[in-house]
Amino acid sequence: MEFTNETIDINQLPKFEEVHFSPLNKNYIKVVYINIAIVLLIIAIGIGVLIYFNEDFQNTQTYLVFGISYAVFALILYFSSVMAVKRRAFALRDKDILYKRGLLSTTTTIMPFNRIQHVAMHEGAFSRIYKLAQIQIFTAGGNTSDVKISGIEKEKAESIKELLMQKIQNHI
Amino acid sequence: MRLDFTTPQRQSVTGIIVMFADTFQSIVRQFWVLLLVILFKLKEDQYLVVGLGFLGLVLLTLVIGYLKYRNFTFYLDEEKQEFVLRKGVISKSRISIQLSKIQQVDINQSIIQKIIGVYSLDIDTAGTDKKEISIRAIDQRLALLLKEKLLDYGNKDEEALDDNQEVIKESKTFLKISYNTLFKVGITSNYGRTIALLVTFVITLYQSFKDAINAFEIDEKEVDTVFERGAGFFSAGILIFGLLVLVLLINIVRIFIKHFDFVMIKQKQSLVITSGLFAKKNTLLNPDKVQITSYSQNYFQKKFRILDMNMKQASSDEVKEQKKKSNAIEVPGCNTEERDEILRIILGKIPQKGNQYRSNFRYLIFRTFSAVAFLTVILTLLHYAEIGNMDLYIPLVFVYLCLISSLIYFGYRNHALYVNQDFIIKRHGAWDVEHEIIEPHKIQAITAKQYFWHKSADVGHLILHTAAGDVDFRFGDYTHIKQLVNYWLYQVETSEKNWM
């Protein structure tokens, strides 16, 4: 049996922080816009109903309070969502998949192929309009380490899924 | 009964009684409201009808129990390496489990089973619903044999298995926990948990007491003055002393119930653990399936020379969410030599601490900030609730600050990560100092995280995801963390070892 046991130079190992990440599809932001719009609409209807059925609220002061907090909330939601989407990115390497996200933080999760248990692909109603899909990757690490990557072109998502499945098969 | 598991077979005949009891229990559990209503609304002329109805229910349950028994079969498919279980009366199900997916086989005994003299055998796998795979009535000899078979799938050497005697001869007891040690464990461990339990208990008691007062329309003022006078009589010292004694007592009783007659036996490559006062629990632990091994010790335990050990196994998501530690096997009160022996069996060798990595001082700032923020929130709430005089809380605030600052300080001092080629050891805890040991090839995924305000200070967080939960290291040097992540990825991706 041939046996080698060379010393490993930690600094020579491939660096995950220097990998080139690919961002989500540009159209995905439109899906996010739609989602934001729906959330805002539901809240607006809720407030409207609240004011309509509650005569105590029918004065200028309450309108002002509701109006301003609604606008502030809408702006925060809009900017944080857009920023968050822009900061999401993923990368595939020979032996693992990386997913980077986070608004205040930069969070990178790395899943080696030989630890992936299962891969799922989801297509949301709005994502389908732009031919986008979501990939969900499961490891035995539980929900904290399961990764969902939204906003990938459907064909690309399918090929990634194929690739991952193939890699999993090879390991069993 | 034959000792051949390759043909489908039923449970012990007495299993009908267990099945009956189970069914009856579940019916009562589902319809207890209805049953109570019927019982209370009962008029004298309806006794006969209800009595007959009840008899009918019992008979029906008996029939269901019998059918359940008839339809419940299990066998071992040696060709496919599967354990197959068929069950169900109306909707039938066939469950097959790959032997390699079996995590753990437990043999337990409830009170009903104890009376009849049978055991239940539960099979735990990673992923499937745990309760599905349970044989409710099996005699002890058969249970032990089946357990052997189930966990011995890799071993084609069947000779030893035909003869139960030999299996037992081969095994040797190497850890037995005496009453003395259990007593020591009882007075030194789990203060936090017991105090929390006690506080909830007292609060619920107080609540129901108040409810009772409201219900009986007792004059509240009178009761309040009684309370105040009572508080005057009992000085705070006595109260605290009483509480401490109570905590210790509860702890001792709990430890004794759980770990009574704790015996650990080495059987081939696995460990067999039996313990329990009322319900005997028999657990088999396969070293390969342990994901995180940890041991902890506090100041008192150090003086008594005892340690607490925990072996966490892979668990399905549902189990994980319900109770974090359900899949952990605990060894209370072993000494250093016994710990090393267990570590050697589970990890192959005694792990050495490698390079040390410490947290940045920002860890202290963060913890202090959260502690102060918590205090502020509580005080503000109290202020607005206008409960009593705020001056009363000043000594309490002082005690809280002393306690929390020492907790933070010691927590910081003990927070460290040790890494070498074979092991990752995380030390943490202010009072109970815990060492968590992971082998790099058991890592499932790694997360590295850095907040933008930590960028210039080069500080970041690290989370290692394993099948038995996460282990994190916060406020470390981010350059080192990145280096470690790359190293572990290299180890995971080149390792041929199976994680379970």
pLDDT digits (tens, 9 = 90+) for B261-318: 888 888 777 788 888 887 777 887 888 888 899 999 988 888 888 899 998 887 654 4
Q: Please, what is the Cα angle at B349 between B348 and B352, to 5 degrees?
A: 140
Token output for B227 = 């309370």
Quote the minimal CA–CA distance from A28 to chain B in Å.
24
CB contact under 8 Å between A109 and B445, yes or no, is yes
Residue B466, CB half-sphere, CA atoms under 13 Å: how many?
26
pLDDT, residue B3, reads 61
> Under an 8 A CB cutoff, do A115 and B445 touch?
yes
Contact yes or no for B440/B424 (Cβ under 8 A):
yes
Q: CA torsion angle for B323, B325, B329, B331 (degrees, to 10)?
A: -130
Model pLDDT, residue B270: 79
Geometric angle at alpha carbon B47, from B45 and B52, rounded to 5°: 130
Q: Which helix (H) or strand (E) holds A28?
A: helix A28-53
Count of CB atoms situated within 10 Å of the CB of B100: 12
Please give the residue of chain B at the shortest CA–CA distance from A10: B487
**A103 neighbourhood in chain B, CB within 8 Å:** none
What are B413's two structure tokens? Answer: 């001092």
Q: Which two tokens stand for residue B163?
A: 């003869």
B490 contacts in A (CB within 8 Å)? 8, 13-14
- Measured between CA atoms, how close is B444 to chain A, in angstroms? 6
Describe chain B by its helix, strand, coil percentages, rounded to 5.
Answer: 50, 25, 25
Gap from A38 CA to chain B (nearest CA, Å): 30
pTM of full prediction above 0.90: no
Query: Could A102 and B126 be called an inter-chain contact, meaning their C-beta atoms sit closer than 8 Å?
Result: no
Separation in Å, CA B432 to CA B191, B325, B415:
10, 16, 12
Q: Which amino acid is at A1?
A: M
Q: Which residues of A touch B451 (CB under 8 A)?
A: 104-105
Given CB atoms, is A141 within the 8 Å cutoff of chain B?
Answer: yes
Q: Which residue has the tokens 């860890």?
A: B363
Three-state SS for B391? helix
pLDDT at B128: 47
pLDDT for the residue numbered B61: 87
Site of tokens 């180890």: B491
Question: Which of these, B413, B405, B404, B410, lies nearest to B358 by C-alpha position?
Answer: B413
DSSP-derived letter for residue B9 is: B
Please check whether residue A48 is in contact with residue A67, taking contact to mean a CB–CB distance below 8 angstroms: no
* Calculated CA dihedral for residues B17, B23, B28, B34, nearest 10 degrees: -130
How far is CA A54 from each of CA A38, A70, A71, B447, rounded to the nearest angstrom?
24, 18, 21, 49
Residue A1 at interface with chain B, using a CB cutoff of 8 Å: no
DSSP-assigned states of every residue in B183-212: HHHHHHS-HHHHHHHHHHHHHHHHHHHHHH
CB distance from B471 to chain A under 8 Å? no
Check residue B176 and give its pLDDT. Answer: 84
Residue A172 forms contact with B (CB below 8 Å): no
Residue B236 CA to residue B296 CA, distance in Å, equals 32
Quickly list DSSP for A49-116: HHHHH-GGG-SHHHHHHHHHHHHHHHHHHHHHHHHHHHH-EEEE-SSEEEEEE-SSEEEEEEEEGGGE
Alpha carbon distance B139, B116 (integer Å): 10
B450 touches chain A (CB under 8 A): yes
Phi, psi of B384 (to 5 degrees): -75, -30
Across the interface, do A104 and B452 touch by the CB < 8 Å criterion?
A: yes
DSSP 8-state code for residue B99: G
Q: Which member of B444, B449, B489 has the closest CB to residue A145?
A: B444
C-alpha span between A109 and B472 (Å, rounded): 13
Confirm or reject contact between A136 and chain B (CB < 8 A): no
pLDDT in 10s for each residue of chain B, 500 residues = 456 777 788 887 887 888 888 888 888 887 777 777 777 777 777 778 888 888 888 888 888 888 888 888 888 887 777 788 888 777 777 777 777 767 778 788 877 788 888 888 888 766 544 555 788 888 888 888 888 777 776 544 333 344 444 444 456 777 888 888 888 888 887 777 777 777 777 777 776 666 666 666 555 555 555 555 555 555 666 777 887 788 888 888 888 888 888 888 887 777 888 888 877 778 878 888 888 999 999 888 888 888 999 988 876 544 444 444 456 788 888 888 889 988 988 888 889 888 899 999 999 999 999 999 998 898 888 778 766 666 767 777 888 889 899 999 999 999 999 998 889 999 999 888 999 999 999 999 999 999 999 999 999 999 999 888 889 999 999 999 999 999 999 999 888 888 87
Q: Are B299 and B149 in contact (CB under 8 A)?
A: no
Distance CA B472, CA A16 (A): 19
Token pair 């339990």 in the structure block, residue: B197
CA distances from B105 to A33, B100, B133 (A): 51, 12, 10
Tell whether A108 lies on the interface with B, counting CB pairs under 8 A: yes
Measure in Å the smallest separation between the Cα of A153 and chain B Cα atoms: 25
Q: Which residues of chain A have pLDDT under 50?
A: none
Residue of A nearest to B486 (CA): A15
Pull the structure tokens for residue B58: 């019992």
Of all residues in chain A, the one with the smallest CA distance to B495 is: A114
Q: CA nearest B465 in A: which residue? A: A141
**Of B447, B475, B483, B487, which to mutate for an interface test with A (greatest number of A Cβ within 10 Å)?**
B447
Chain B contact for A111 (CB, 8 A cutoff): yes
Question: What pLDDT does residue A88 have?
Answer: 94
Residue numbers in A near B443 (CB within 8 A): 115
Q: Report phi then psi at B308, rounded to 5.
A: -110, 130
Q: Report CB contact under 8 Å: A15, B446.
A: no
User: Three-state SS across B216-249?
Assistant: HCCCHHHHHHHHHHHHHHCCHHHHHHHHHHHHHH
Q: What are phi and psi of B106, to 5 degrees?
A: -110, 140
Closest C-alpha among B366, B484, B371 to residue B425 = B484
